[in-house]
Amino acid sequence: MVNGLLKEYSPYLEYKDGVLHFDGVNLEELARELGTPLYVYSANHIRDKIRAYKEAFPGALIAYAVKANFNLGVIKIAAEEGCGADTVSGGEIYRAIKGGIPADKIVYAGVGKTDEELSYALEQDILMFNAESEMEIEVLNELAGKKGKKARIAVRVNPDVDPKTHPKIATGMKKSKFGIDINKALDVYRWASKLPNIEVVGIHCHIGSQLLDLSPFREAVEKVADLYRKLEKEGIRIKYLDIGGGLGIKYKPEDREPSPKELADIVTPIVKDLGVQLILEPGRSIAGNGGILITQVQFLKEKDDKLFVMVDAGFNDLLRPAMYGSYHHIVAVREKPQKMVCDVVGPICETGDILGENREICDVGRKDYLAVLSAGAYGFVMSSHYNMRPRAAEVIVENGSYRVTRPRENWDYIIWKEEV
C-alpha cells in the first residue's frame, strides 16, 4: 500500500525488503556511504518526464528550466534527452552550456538582466532573449549594435490570468513584476521590430508555477494566440511561441499530478494552425519528483505532549517549507510496523525551521534516516550556508548504480577567500 503511494510520486521509488530504494539504489546504504543531508536524483525519472513532454508536443523545443535544479549532472541528462534550456541569469547560461546544452537552444528571461549578462548571452549567440521591459530591449539593441550582432527577442507578455497557485509563485497577473502588459504588447512589438539590431522572433509568457488546475493555461495561450494573429496582420513574423513552464507536481498524498499530455490537449488545438514552433519551459515537472532529500535523525525530544524529531537537514538545505509553507511528504528510509506522530525539525536556530508538522511516520530512533520527497526542484538550488552549514552532497542514481555529481562542501569551502 505504501509502495502504491510512493509510485505516484515516482515509479522509481519503492520499499524493497523494508528499505527505501530509488532508481534501484538502496538509500540506507547510500546514506551510510556518502553521509547526510544528501540530495538524490533519479536519472530515469528525469528522462521519463522529458520524454513525456516530447511525446505530447512533437516538434516543440523543451527548454528545461535550469533554475529548478541546476546541477550539472541533471543538466547533462536534459541535454542527452535533446532539451534546450530556459535560463534566468548569465550564470545559468554558463551552467547550461557547461552541462552540454547547445547555445542555440537557450532562452533567457528575467526582469533585471545586467549589461554583463546581456553581453555574455550575445557572445554565446543564444536562441532568444525573453525581454521583460522596453528599457531592456533598448539596451539590448545598443549592446548588440556594438558587437555587430542582432539580438533575437521575444517580448514576455503578462496575460493577466490568475494561475490559482501560491501567490509567491504566480507571475502572470497584472500586479506582478513580470512581463509587459499584453494590451500594450502590440505597440512594443511595432517599435521593437524597427530597431536595427533587434530581430523579433517570439512571444513569451510564463504565468506561474505549481499549477495543478490547467485551465489558466487555456486562457493565457488564447490571449497569446490572439496577439500572434494581430502581429501577423501587421507583417511582424513570429517564429516561436514560448508558453513557459508551470505544470504542477504531487507534493501531498492527495494531489493529482497533471501530465504533459493533458497540457497538450489544452494547448495544441489553440496553436496548431499558427505555423510557429512551440517552446516549453518545464522545470518542476521534470525534476521535482525526480529528487529526494535524505536526512539523518540526530535526537528525539518530547515537549508539551509533542514529539520532536531533530534531523540534520534544515531550511538552509530545503527552503520551501519555511519560505512558502510548502508540504513535503516525509517517509522513513527503513519501514517499520510501529508508527509515530511527530514534528520533523531542522538544526537551524530559527523557529521556522520545520520540515514537517504533525506527521505520521514509521518509528525512528537516533541515526535512522528519513527521506523528504519531491525535493528535486527548488531544493538544493535554494540552499544557503546559513549557520555556517556546508551544503549537501548531490548524487544521481540510475539503474541500481550511483554517481556523486557534487561533493559535500566543507568549512574551508565556505570561507574561501574570506579575510580576517
Query: What residues act catalytically?
Result: 349
Helices (H) and strands (E) in the chain, counts: 13, 21
Q: Which residues contact 313 (CB under 8 A, 6 or more apart)?
A: 36, 37, 293, 295, 346, 355, 372, 392
| Residue with cell string 505597440 | 187
Nearer to ligand PLP, 88 or 224 (CB): 88
Which one-letter DSSP state was computed for residue 360? E
Which one-letter DSSP state was computed for residue 378? S
**Does residue 412 contact residue 388 with C-beta atoms inside 8 Å?**
no
Whose CB is nearest to ligand PLP? Answer: 245
Nearer to ligand PLP, 283 or 290 (CB): 283
d(CA 124, CA 290): 30
Nearer to ligand PLP, 65 or 118 (CB): 65
Give which of 110, 78, 111, 113 is closest to 96, Cα–Cα: 78
Q: Torsion over CA of 40, 51, 251 and 406, rounded to 10 degrees?
A: 20
Nearer to ligand PLP, 68 or 214 (CB): 68
Q: Least distance from C-beta 405 to ligand PLP, angstroms?
A: 20
Q: Least distance from C-beta 88 to ligand PLP, angstroms?
A: 6
Nearer to ligand PLP, 110 or 314 (CB): 110
Q: Least distance from C-beta 378 to ligand PLP, angstroms?
A: 7
Nearer to ligand PLP, 288 or 314 (CB): 288
Q: Least distance from C-beta 298 to ligand PLP, angstroms?
A: 32
Q: Least distance from C-beta 155 to ligand PLP, angstroms?
A: 13
- How many Cβ atoms from other residues are within 10 Å of residue 280's Cβ? 29
Give which of 188, 171, 179, 328 is closest to 249, Cα–Cα: 328
Q: Least distance from C-beta 54 to ligand PLP, angstroms?
A: 16
d(CA 327, CA 319): 11
d(CA 413, CA 109): 31
**Does residue 343 contact residue 379 with C-beta atoms inside 8 Å?**
no
d(CA 79, CA 101): 5
Give which of 188, 154, 260 is closest to 217, Cα–Cα: 260
Q: Least distance from C-beta 113 to ligand PLP, angstroms?
A: 12
Nearer to ligand PLP, 175 or 194 (CB): 175
Nearer to ligand PLP, 19 or 266 (CB): 266
d(CA 409, CA 39): 13
Strands (E), 38-105: 38-42, 61-65, 84-87
Q: Least distance from C-beta 53 to ligand PLP, angstroms?
A: 11
- One-letter identity of residue 80: E
**Does residue 303 contact residue 387 with C-beta atoms inside 8 Å?**
no
Which residues here bind ligand PLP, judged by CB under 6 A?
65, 67-68, 86, 88, 109, 206, 209, 244-247, 281-285, 377
d(CA 100, CA 118): 20
